[in-house]
Amino acid sequence: MPASVTDILCDLVRIPSVNPMGRPVEGDEYYEYRVTDYVEQFCRRLGMAVERQAVAPRRDNLLARLDGAPTLDQGGRFVVLQAHQDTVPVDGMTIRPWEPVNRDGKIFGRGSCDIKGGLACHLFTLARLAAERPAQRPTVVLACTVNEEHGFSGAQAMAERWLRREPGPAWPGGTPDAVIVAEPTELNVVVAHKGIVRWRCRTQGRASHSATPERGDNAIYRMGHALVEFEHYAQQVVGNLGEHPLVGRPTLSVGLISGGISVNTVPDDCAVEIDRRLLPGEDPMAAQRHALEFLAGRLPADRALVHEPPFIAAPGLEHVGNERLAERLAVLAGPYGGGRHIGVPYGTDAPFFARTGAPTVVFGPGSIAQAHTCDEWVAIDQLEAACAILERFVREA
């Protein structure tokens, strides 16, 4: 059994699992395969059944099962502890991203907060349960997904498997009684969060030498007109489409622009990427259509945009069906300073599992304020508290 949750976390931080975020990059630090190998070996040493689900090259989901008493066949309960395996890139970090440092009651390193800290808590909890084998315990499945940071394809593939009710070496084949998705929530219980749809749109022009710009048609100028309308839509329209008591209002942001090949060439192409945050219950495709229809009515036909299909589309988490699970976790987390029922504006893997009919919440150590930062860290007391809460939750499930 590992000495501490911090030992496990430091092991995980030392293993790069960077999500390339759609960029054409190469290197051993990219993709999750080495973290998957580590988790598989860890779980096999505990005597757990393990299986992998291929999602993309070097990107496997992983399931590992610790059987309960009574077993599922005997009417026992079934709990899933879930975490994603990828991290965001390390550009601009001011610390060595894969050399974990234990200092001032914190573990520093890429992924320490989002979300290898939560994954380490899951693994340590499983190790305790495997070593002690409480007389009454549910079956616990560890579910590790890929590509959470840029598309949720791992969670989507895993949830589709659950919906098909396909059993396997580590998957019982039924619907879990509870799913706890690891994210940095400061030990509070996220019962609702926003969804997301992201897409790319283009303006097309005609290239020419910049000495004779009148012979061309500047795609960047065309996009400039469109951006004015995007800004109007974001500031005057989207926020009035609805409001949720826990997550607020929907939003839209244009976050990336690219165009042209050189300063002395009139550009024939310009592209922007749009981020639309959804309320729980909003349909991602309907949200994109609403924006497209608005823009179509505001731009002349000869300045129309070319919209690509979304490259990310994920629903929000609704605060319906997870009330009892949230309350049980909240009671256990309260003595540690957490336990509030909250909504958050960011997205997670959780909605894909909730759509299978399983009560699903988001819970874990650390603060979202430290996630993705240049000196990412997580507080050790939060890690230890999360382990204590999760172990007691499973023992009492």
At 76 the pLDDT is: 92
Going along the chain from its start, the domains and CATH numbers come out as 5-193+317-396 (3.40.630.10), 195-314 (3.30.70.360)
At 148 the pLDDT is: 98
223 phi, psi to nearest 5 deg: -65, -30
At 36 the pLDDT is: 98
Residues of the chain with pLDDT below 70 are: 1, 302
At 100 the pLDDT is: 98
At 135 the pLDDT is: 87
* Beta bridge partner(s), residue 276: 197, 252
Q: Indicate the residue type of 217.
A: D
User: Against a cut of 0.85, is the pTM above it?
Assistant: yes
Q: How many residues does the chain have?
A: 397
pLDDT-above-90 percentage for the chain: 93
At 304 the pLDDT is: 77
pLDDT 10s digits, 292-321: 999 998 988 767 799 999 999 999 999 999
CB 282 within 8 A of CB 195: yes
At 397 the pLDDT is: 81
For 152: left if phi > 0, alpha if psi spans -120 to 50, otherwise beta; the answer is: left
CA dihedral 112, 59, 280, 342 (to 10 degrees): -20
| Residues taking part in catalysis | 86, 148
- Count other Cβ atoms within 10 Å, centred on residue 290: 17
328 phi, psi to nearest 5 deg: -65, -45
Contacts of 208 (CB under 8 A, 6+ apart): 214, 215, 216, 265, 266
At 1 the pLDDT is: 66
Vertex 287 angle, CA 277 and 196, to 5°:
30
Least Cα distance to 43 among 119, 96, 102 occurs for 119
Least Cα distance to 77 among 160, 141, 165 occurs for 141
At 207 the pLDDT is: 97
